[in-house]
Copies of this chain bind each other. A is one copy, B any other.
């Protein structure tokens, strides 16, 4: 494969660079801020140092780092690229301007993918001459430690482009999920939003405290959802599978969802309550240290799950 272009070298862009380089692909990274590019080799070295002990830096970690090259112009990044992964700020006008610039530069066969976490491609690429090669490829932070990527094509995206993007992400070891229709927030953030809304409501109305809420997911539902989704979960919670589950328990679960919280749950009061619960771990340096802890745990979990999958495959 020809190389991948990364546009924007923030946390998400660097994660993407690591994903492709780890899989053996050359990567060219451009960012409008030279200082960000200057720091890139050190940042990548830090990622290698964190992930290599868990087997998440590729078969040859030094080679992974060596495949990532900073370039000083978008033209150089895009020239001959199979796919450009735009990872700039989540601001509509900025994204629109950036996509116009990329579309004007890139060869017609280069796919333009945005890491946008909630903005649909039809909102920032619809006016472009090359809009048929534009789509969203939304990762989770950090992309090199959480493999899902939501591929959200716009109505104007060429289906062949969607297929190629899916193949490129899959070949890099990610897990592509292709949306069949565009929707704000895609799938992942919509699910996160309903969990946040109901959680904030239960906290604000005094049913549970912040710690108890987190424990319920972390030591409860999250244990299953780390290796199977909510649909497979219900398929195993009734003797006759998912259809049987929904027949037996659908009305009960519907009853619980009947009064579920929506946008009204996001109040300043509950933001203050949740903020206060984390007050002693919310200083920027503490958050950064804890983000490092999170990423190490994600790397350890990725290693664990890969070993389990290998074990399951060997048994089949």
Contacts and interface: CB of A to CB of B under 8 A. Distances in A.
A134 to B, nearest CB: 19
Contacts of A298: 223-224
Contact of A217 (B189, B225, B312): B225
Interface in A179-217: 179-181, 183-185, 187-199, 202, 205-210, 212-217
Contacts of A199: 191, 230-231
Contacts of A192: 221, 230, 253
A171 interface: no
B194 A195 contact: yes
6 contacts: A146-B219, A146-B224, A194-B194, A194-B260, A222-B226, A228-B297
Contact of A146 (B195, B223, B276): B223
Q: Count the copies.
A: 2
A244 interface: yes
Contacts of A209: 180
B252 A118 contact: yes
Contacts of A290: 235-236
A10 to B, nearest CB: 13
A301 B195 contact: no
Interface of chain A, helix or strand or loop or mixed? Answer: helix
A278 B235 contact: yes
Among A210, A213, A223, the most chain B Cβ lie within 10 Å of the Cβ of A223
Contacts of A46: none
Contacts of A258: 262-263
Given A207-B181, A241-B287, A229 B215 contact: yes
A232 interface: yes
A282 B213 contact: no
